[in-house]
Structure 1
C-alpha cells in the first residue's frame, strides 16, 4: 500500500490504518448521501502551474449537472465567467465583470460549448471529479477495505468533526490520478474531497456547503443533461 501523508499530527491518533466497519460503511454511503440530498453547494479549487481557478457554484447529483462562476487565482481574468457542465460537455460564458456568485438563471445567450476533455485539462478533470461524487446507490462496504481504502486521521472542516479516508484505486471517481481523500462526517456526509489530477502536480480540492445551494437550471437551449 502506498504511504499516506498525515493530516494533522496534533488532532489525535493518525493512520493510515485499516477501516473499521463503521468507517467502511460511511465511506460506502458518502456519494449516495450526495445523491439523496439532490444537490450540494461546492467550491472547486482547480490547480494550475499558470495560476489556479476557483469555481463557486452547485452540483445537481440527480440531474448530473454542475453550474457556477469561475475566478482566476493568481492569474489574469481571461478565464473568468460562468461555467455549466455535464459528464460530456462544458459550456463557458466569458464575462468582463464576473460576479461573486453565479446568477440563479443562466443567461440565455453568450455561451460557448465544447466536449469535456477526459485528459490533459486540470479544469475538465476537476469538473468531472466534482460531478462524479454522487451515486444512485451505495458502494460495497465490504470491498472497500479489500481494494485499499484506509483511514488517515481525524480533522475538522467548517466546524464539523470528520474522518479523513482514502478511497481505493478502483473507486469509481473519474478523472483522478492516484488515491482520492474524503473528509467524512459521523453520518456519512461528505465535506471535502481532495484528488490528484494527471495533468498537475497539485490536487484539486472540492469543499461542500461553502455557500447556500441554489437549484441548478440548464442553460436555455442546451438540450438534455442526461
Structure 2
C-alpha cells in the first residue's frame, strides 16, 4: 500500500489516532483474511466509482469540515467546506484534483454541493502537500482509491497490524494500522511507480489507521499530519454519493 502512505505529510504517534470512547487493544499481526481485506480496500473504492466522504481537518483555531463526493476513476473531489470554531472565511464550495484546488467562496453554503458546479466565481491554486493540512488531507482522500489491489505479501512486512474493533454507523469494522509510511522516493523505488505527488514528496514515517468492514469496505480512515494538532478524520458513507460533474468551460482552471 505504498501509494497510500506517500502523500506529503509527517507522522504523529499512533496513540493520537485513538478516538474518544475507543478501547485500545494490544496490536497483533493481521490474519490472512485481514491482510486480504486491507489489500483490496482501496481497490473497492475504485470499483465503486466514487464514495461520499466527510473530511474533518483540525486546526489550532478550530478546523474545517468538508462534505464531499470523490470520483475515484478521475481522482476528483467536489463538495462543501465549512469552518468550525473559527470565522467563516473558508466557507463555500471546493473542488480538487491531485494538482489543483478550486474554491468558490459563499457566505451561506448549502448542505450539499449543487450537482452542476457554478460557471463562475472559482479561485484556482496549486495543491500543496507539504506543510498545509487541508491540501494534505485532500491528497490523502484522492489516494484512497486504486485501480488494482495492493500487494498483500508486503503489508505485514511493512508493519500493518490489527489494533481493535469498532462499530461505524451500524457496520462492524476491524481497525487496522496500515503499513509504515515511507518517503515518496523510497516507496517509488519499491513499487516502480510515482507517488501521488509525482515522486517528489518529502514526507517521513507516519501511521494511517483504517476501519474496514467484513467485505473490505473502507468506512473510516485517520491520519496523523505534522501540521495538524489532531489527526485528520475521513468518514465514508456519511451521506449520499453524487457523481462529480465536469466544471463549465469558463470555470475550469487553465492547463
TM-score, normalised relative to structure 2: 0.81
* 1:210 alignment partner, one of 238, 243, 246: 238
* 2:23 alignment partner, one of 9, 25, 34: 9
Native 8 Å contact 2:44 2:145 kept in 1: yes
The 3 A distance-change label for structure 1 pair 3 and 77 is: closer
Is 1:183 the counterpart of 2:194 in the alignment? no
Is 1:131 the counterpart of 2:172 in the alignment? no
Secondary structure, in 3 states, of the residue corresponding to 1:25?
Answer: helix
Is 1:63 the counterpart of 2:74 in the alignment? yes
Shift of 1:223: 6.1
Larger RCO (alpha carbons 8 Å, 6+ apart): 2
Aligned ranges 1:52-201 → 2 under 5 Å: 52-170=63-181, 178-201=206-229
Shift of 1:15: 2.7
Shift of 1:220: 1.5
Native 8 Å contact 2:181 2:206 kept in 1: no
Shift of 1:224: 9.8
Secondary structure, in 3 states, of the residue corresponding to 1:34?
Answer: helix
Shift of 1:176: 8.1
Q: CA RMSD for the aligned pairs?
A: 2.2
Structure 1 unaligned residues grouped into runs of 5+: none
Native 8 Å contact 1:153 1:165 kept in 2: yes
Distance in 2, matches of 1:177 and 1:94, equals: 35
Question: Which of the pair is proportionally richer in helix?
Answer: 2
Structure 2 unaligned residues grouped into runs of 5+: 1-11, 188-194, 197-202
Is 1:29 the counterpart of 2:29 in the alignment? no
Native 8 Å contact 1:19 1:150 kept in 2: yes
Native 8 Å contact 2:67 2:112 kept in 1: yes
TM-score, normalised relative to structure 1: 0.91
The 3 A distance-change label for structure 1 pair 124 and 3 is: closer
